[in-house]
Amino acid sequence: MKWVLGVFGRKIASRRPTRLRRRIPETPPPQHFVLDVMDRMRCAALFFASLLIFSLSVPVNADEDEVEDESPFTYGSKKGPENWANLNPKWKACANGKLQSPIDLADDRVEIMPKLGTLKRAYKPAPAMIKNRGHDIEVVWEGDAGFAMLNGTEYKLLQCHWHTPSEHTMNGKRFELEIHLVHNNSLGHLAVVGVVYKLGRPDPFLAKLLETIKTTTPNHEGNFVGDVNPWDIKFGSRKYYRYLGSLTVPPCTEGVLWTIVKKVRTVSREQVSALRDAVHDGYEKNARPTQKSDLDVYMYRPGTQG
C-alpha cells in the first residue's frame, strides 16, 4: 500500500486497481426449461379461466338484447354501422366497446385450447315461427328446442337468423352467408353459435324453409311452420373458434360468448338471393364489418394434446 497526496493535500491510500473478472453466463439447468413451459401453460389456463369467469359474470339484459324492429338502423346511408352509436344514447358500445363483434378469425393469432372440449348439443324438434325483422329472417322456436353445453354451462336455443355476406371472416376471407344460433342460460347470458357458408350445393336446412321465407313480409307477426329440427343445421366439423364478444347489431351489447364452427358449409345462390329479397331493405348486405380487435381467440381441435 502506498500513501499519496490527494486533491486537498491529505494523504490517502493508493490501492492497486481491481481487475474486473468477466462473468460467463451460466446455462440454466434443464428444469428451468420445464418450469418455463409450465408457466406458459399456466398463463394459457389463466386466460381460459378469465374467459369463462367473464362470460358468466356479464349478463345481457332484456333491454340490451337485439333490436327487434330494425328500422331505427340500416346497413347503409346515414344509419349504417359507422353511425349506429350516434343514433341512440344506449348504443354507444357500437363505437366505444372493447369486445366488439364480428372479428377476423386469423389462425396465426389463435391459441389452441384442448380443454374447451367437444361442442355438445342436445337439440330437438319444436314448433317455430319464421319472422321478417326488416333486416334479416329469423326462425324463433316457441317450444323447447333443446340446448347446447358451452364452457360447462347449459344454454337454451332460442332462435336462428342469417347474415349475407358472412360477418366473421377467416384469415381475412369473407364468405357468402352466416347463420347465428342464439342461446341463453338461466342467468340471461347470451351465447351464439355461428356457421359460415360459401356458394355451392343448397343448404338442406334452408331448403325446407325457403318457400315460407319468400312469403314472410317485414313487420308481420310471422308464419308458423310447425316443428323445426335444429339438427338440420349441419356443422360438419368438431373444430371451432371461441371468444368473448358482442351482439353484431345495436345496441352492440358485450359479454356474448361466441362459437364459430371452422368448417365452411355450402349454400346455393338462389338461397342467398331469397334471404336478401325477402328483407327488402334496399341494401345488398346485412352484415356488420369486422371490428378491430385484440381479443383472445381460442380454437378447439380434436386430438390435440393439452
The per-residue pLDDT for range 108-128, each reduced to its tens digit, is: 999 999 999 999 999 999 999
Q: Which of 135, 161, 163, 180 is catalytic?
A: 135
d(CA 43, CA 37): 10
The per-residue pLDDT for range 11-68, each reduced to its tens digit, is: 445 444 444 343 333 434 444 433 343 444 444 444 444 454 444 445 555 345 665 5
Tell me which CATH homologous superfamily contains domain 33-300. Answer: Alpha carbonic anhydrase (3.10.200.10)
Is residue 135 annotated as part of the catalytic site, yes or no? yes
Find out whether 199 and 269 touch, Cβ atoms under 8 Å: yes
User: What's residue 77's pLDDT?
Assistant: 81
User: What's residue 36's pLDDT?
Assistant: 44
Find out whether 130 and 216 touch, Cβ atoms under 8 Å: yes
Concatenating the DSSP letter of every residue in 217-237 gives -TTS--EEEEEE-GGGS----
Cell, residue 188: 340471461
User: What's residue 221's pLDDT?
Assistant: 86
The DSSP bridge partners found for residue 65 are: none
- At a CB cut-off of 8 Å and minimum separation 6, what does 250 contact? 66, 67, 72, 73, 84, 87, 88, 91, 94
User: What's residue 16's pLDDT?
Assistant: 46
C-alpha 187: how far from chain center? 20
Q: Which residues of the chain have a pLDDT value below 50? A: 2-12, 14-50, 52-57, 62-63, 69, 306
Domain boundaries, the chain: 33-300
Q: Which among 163, 132, 156, 154 has a CA at the least distance from the CA of 142?
A: 156
Is residue 257 classed as helix, strand or coil in its secondary structure? strand
